[in-house]
Structure 1
Amino acid sequence: MKLSFQLAFRNLIGAGLRTWLIVGILTFTFLVILFYNGLLDGWNLQAKRDAINWEFGYGQFQHKDYDPYDPFSLQNAHGVFDARNAQGLTPLLMRPASIFPNGRMLSVTLKGLPKNQRQLKIPVDRLDKQEGAIPVAIGKRMAKTAKLSLGDEISLRWRDKNGTFDAENVKVAAIFNTTISTVDQGQIWMRLEDLWRITGMNNEATIMIADQPMPDTSFKDWNYVNQEKLLQNINNVIEIERASARIIYFILLAIALLAIFDTQVLSVFRRQKEIGTYIALGMTKNEVTGLFTLEGSMYSLFSMFLGTLIGVPLFGYLSQKGISFGAFTADMGIGMGDRIYPSFSPSLLVSSALIVIISATIVSFIPARKIVTMNPIDALKGKLQ
């Protein structure tokens, strides 16, 4: 085996530029596969982390009439909760409403959270009681859409528990920045105590957010939705991106493997005398076949070495500094920040390397099988069989 490695290494180095062209293609393919998978993994982790911190928590008890895809369900989607049995749960009340900034009307969802809650990162703790207008918090993109700034007062209209319209001025006391559009666009946040007061819905909520994993059970008017189901949309988007990326992987890998295949076919054709010499010196046909297969697989080993030299500093830098995609990504409807930090796990590194190495080995073995059928005497004469 040691001799085979030495011979394979010598033959590849002796091939010169041809070897390094193939290694360069394989290295590029390996780095692209690794980079794109790392980017998707980093995006996946960020999106899930932000969704948990800003919206989902560790699961939710949703009112039986609540439908997240039907805004008209908000009018009736509320119920009384027992604070004694709601330990570890943060109540969230949601009501349809309208605001009137600068003479325009915008439909919004009015949401209330307890001031002392710590489960979500919504800054309701900054909504201190003020004289006159009710303090509210809005997202950065909501502020841009409605053309609102800190300290602005606007008229807010809503329906109370009896369905009667009511209105009052609210003041923008906090503007926050988040990657989750569903807590930003079209959302007005206030203290739950204020929302209870203006709607008359004391001790009522639309959703109760868990601050720790809960038993997968529902009770009375509340249906439990676990964290995995809440994050399903993010998982689906990532899987779609992975599927489209596999097409790019396949094309790049096919180009690199085609170069290896052509090189091996040419080697078997041009090095017949060398093959015959190996057999005459005592090597079996299978050993010679293994030698040529090893030569092909060593292209991938060289590419792993070169990829490590290039990838470690490059991907290390990207993991620390991130990749900026601009502010437009926040309007895509999913948790995608202005900057994504790729994640390169050990399993990703190993799986990407194995894909390249195994593929190169298989492609190298296919043309090398012809050596088994060659006549040693004809091989020494350089005659193709």
Structure 2
Amino acid sequence: MTITARLDVGRNASPFLFGEEAAAVAEVLESGQYGHTDVTEEFERRIAAFLGVRDAVAVMSGTAALHTALLAAKVGPGHEVVVPSMTFCATVQAILAVGATPVFVDVDPATLCVTDQLVMDAVTDRTRAVMPVLFGGRAIDLSRIRPELAARDIATMEDAAHAFGSRNGARRVGATGDLTCFSFGPIKNLTCGQGGVVIPRGHAEAATIRRMRMLGVVQSQAERAQTTRYCVEGFGLRYQMSGINAAIGLAQLPHFEKTAATRRGLWRAYRRALASLDGVTLVDVDPDRSVPHLCQVRTPHRDKVHARMKARGIGVGVHYPPNHLQPAFAEWRRDLPATEQVGRELLTLPFHQHLAEADIDQVVTALGQALKTVGAASCARS
């Protein structure tokens, strides 16, 4: 079986462009204004309109979005943040960046997401925020516990890096009233090349985040150009999104419904192809409501299957090694049996918009062959 370039080892995920991004970037370059400009502000307006929210604040990355959201919610030293271990390490690093303590929780093995009970079991008098991760694009409904969290002055802050365009009921993720953070990195469902957005809970919070992303400076770049002074009102970082990155996002956004339909179709094609395959379990992302970001299976022979798929030139991966087992976070390690079991079994299959259904058939055929080889070897040893 000849493996196409679309499935090669380096393309477990891959950026997808529609052909208009280069011209949009060229226009910004020709303007001579490369930093935070009116292009960035237009991107914010368009994102807010797409999501059905009043405000969106663009920053330079998804990690910057998480960091500034935590700061805006006044999370800091002495506070705890409830967070699943099953996430990219950026989620945890943002918590540490504000001096707070991550309290790792388990996930539902079927969805890789937290549940109401898992969150509430971890809440203490020191909890200042809970940070559910919308893993693989799957929306999480924490509406039943949100009133209790709010009554205890605990912010709900969604890490929606995987979930732009997904829905929670009738509303898109970001429009549920919680602080929400998106990532628009190279392989996300919508890309800016690099970038992120925070959806604030109100005007005051939006103003705070806008000030922080500009080093604490109150005046805009245009306003500073008209005076000999500017005012720094508080702590801030250089986190603003450039017009170059915003231009890429603006070129992508009109095509998003096509993106969503393509990714849902590919995920469903995987589901059909995997249905007759023994030895693997597909992780559900609820494609009717979600825009899938990953396609993952669980197998008890993950490491051996991973090696055999790589040897065939197929770009499988692992998303993610549990954070509570990472050396950098060992101080906060606790027993999370479901996460640890899933962490040993997860295998991410190639999933991006360059794929065709014939590629998916190739992946699943190779996966079946790898499972048979591993199973035969196990039987021979026993």
Larger Rg computed on CA atoms: 1
| TM-score (normalised: structure 1) | 0.20
Q: Which has the higher strand share?
A: 1
Q: Which has the higher helix share?
A: 1
